[in-house]
Structure 1
Amino acid sequence: MASEITYAEVKFKNDSSAAVIKGPPPETKKHEHHPKKYLPWLPWLISLLLFLVCIALVVLLAVLFSHSADQPPALQQNFTEWLCNSMVPQGKEQGWTCCPNGWKRFRESCYYFSEDLLSWVESEQNCTGMGSHVVVINSEAEQNFLSEAMKSLGGQNYYIGLRAQEVGQWHWVDQAPLNVTAAFWRTGEPTNSTAEPCVVIHRQTAPPNNWNDIRCERHNRICEAAAVTVRWRS
């Protein structure tokens, strides 16, 4: 008996799709924020510039308050507000002439006309305390300027820096003797009395001759100081 051979038909299904290997998703590369890098010498440069600016400001202030050798240092220490006028240019040099606010300027000097009354000694102390002195009159032009400036004021008598150390011996506060060619006495003055060693400008007497010797009692005063000058070359 012949053995039977059994055939079985086997079909293999051919899957053409490629095998997909699944794994964890690829890591997304995060965008890194790096801080901006400054040049290492930049802070030093900024510090140097600030230092130079400070020096420039100090130099500027020193120039603005430069003054002539006879300028009392106390004047600018006592006042913070100033009134300045342009100087007449001299060649390449230009500048300003300044007086404390409320003072009047004539040429290279500043003048203060008081509203209160003091004795002559107190007047001298008050002017000195402001960095000035009781006015010294050197010319008829200066005398006329003071007389004109006083017209709108309310005082009667204004002390000037002239006083008799001995009868008839008139000296200014800077110890200079009175120059008779620049003396502006009222008619009949001075009386040359021991009781009247001080001198005032009498406001209601017509200039230029309006000086009067008087008792050293309480009167108005005129203080004088050299103007502050600011110069530069163009």
Structure 2
Amino acid sequence: MNQQERVSPGTAAPAEGSSCSRLSPWVFLASALAVKTALMTVGLVVLFHRSCGQYKTLPQNAPGWHCIRNGSASQRQDWKCCPVGWRPFQESCYYFSDDWMPWDKSQQNCSGMGSQLVVINTKAEQAFINKEIQMKYQREQINLYIGLREQEAGQWRWADQTPYNESAAFWRHGEPSDQPSDEFCVVIHYQKNVFQFRNWNNIPCTIDSYRICETAAVTP
């Protein structure tokens, strides 16, 4: 070692070594932040993947999901999602068709979209459906199939096997009728500019009608 390379005890370190010592904490901090960012990214990807995994298969022709907040944005369970084109109400999503078909095919069509013909359980739900029909359809009068059907004479049953509840039935005056004897399926009968809260009517199941499908809303 020559004289220029000797460093006596207590002598300051060379300039290069001093610079590295000052940079080391910053390098360490930057590395720690990079690792933390990477871990957070992985966590968010996993969470997003799990959330999306809770979604049902989108109905045919639905371009995506539409989510609305029922309460505080800080609580994920307060968000409800429906397929785009479906209408949200409470815990369900509703599809109001643009075409018509018999009751059996209507039920098959709803089933193919991961839903069923609507089951109406409350006055609030009946009011919501009436309002949506009024806003969507411009025809003078239409019929829309719901999930109620007569299994045997006088024995009505919903498509999902929910027991029929007379106190939550909204028949038109004089309905259900027993003439003719093949009127086993139920529609909501809508007349433009004529408001009728009670508007259920039983008709033959072979008649082509619009339909209302219902499925459970999704919580992301």
TM-score, normalization by structure 1: 0.68
Moved over 6 A (4+): 49-52
Contact preservation (8 Å) 2:110, 2:117: yes
Native 8 Å contact 1:75 1:132 kept in 2 = no
Distance change >3 Å, CA 74–CA 207, structure 1 → 2: farther
Distance of aligned partners of 1:228 and 1:77 in 2 relative to their CA distance in 1, 3 Å threshold: farther
Residue 164 of structure 2 corresponds to 178
Letter in 1 for 2:215: A
| Root mean square deviation, CA, Å | 2.8
Equivalent-residue separation in structure 1 for 2:186 and 2:133 (angstroms): 16
Q: Specify every segment of 5 or more residues in structure 1 that has no aligned partner in the other structure, as ranges.
A: 1-45, 68-72
**1: CA distance, partners of 2:81 / 2:64:** 10
Q: Which of 170, 174, 185 is the matching residue for 1:198? A: 185
- Mark the runs of 5 or more structure 2 residues left unpaired by the alignment: 1-33
Q: Which has the larger radius of gyration?
A: 1
Which amino acid in 2 is paired with 1:225? Answer: T
Which residue of structure 2 aligns with residue 163 of structure 1?
A: 149
Out of 204, 209, 212, which is 1:215 matched to?
Answer: 204
Q: Is the 8 A contact 2:187 2:202 kept in 1?
A: yes
Letter in 1 for 2:163: P
Q: Deviations over 1:129-180 (max 9, x none)?
A: 0011100000011001101110131460000000001121100001122100
Query: Where do 1:42-81 residues align within 5 Å?
Result: 53=41, 56-64=44-52, 66=54, 73-75=56-58, 79-81=62-64
Contact 1:78 / 1:130 at 8 angstroms: preserved in 2? no
Give yes or no for contact 1:159–1:199 (8 Å, CA) kept in 2: yes
Written as runs of structure 1 = structure 2, the 5 A alignment for 1:18-33 is none
Cα deviations by residue, 1:39-62 (Å, 9 ceiling, x for unpaired): xxxxxxx9xx87984664243132
TM-score normalised by L of structure 2? 0.72
Sequence identity, in percent? 46
> Do the aligned residues in 2 keep the contact of 1:144 with 1:207 (CA within 8 Å)?
no
- Residue 77 to residue 102, structure 1, CA distance change in 2 (3 Å): closer
**Contact conserved, 1:159 with 1:219, CA < 8 A, in 2?**
yes
Q: State the distance in 2 between where 1:54 and 1:119 align.
A: 50
Once the two structures are TM-superposed, the CA of residue 83 in structure 1 deviates from its matched residue by 1.6
Quick one: distance in 1 between partners of 2:54 and 2:60?
Answer: 13
Matches of 1:207 and 1:96 in 2, distance apart?
33
Instruction: Select the residue among 89, 92, 102 that pairs with 1:106.
Output: 89
Higher-helix-fraction structure = 2
Distance between the aligned counterparts of 1:174 and 1:184, measured in 2?
Answer: 18
| Of 184-193 and 138-147, the range deviating more from structure 2 | 184-193
Matched, 1:151 2:140: no
Rounded Cα–Cα distance in structure 2 between residues aligned with 1:171 and 1:192:
16
2:215 is aligned to 225
Aligned residues: 179
Q: Does structure 2 conserve the Cα–Cα contact (< 8 Å) formed by 1:65 and 1:228?
A: no
Say whether residues 1:117 and 2:106 are aligned partners.
no
Q: Is the counterpart of residue 93 in structure 1 residue 101 in structure 2? A: no
AA at the equivalent of 2:203: I
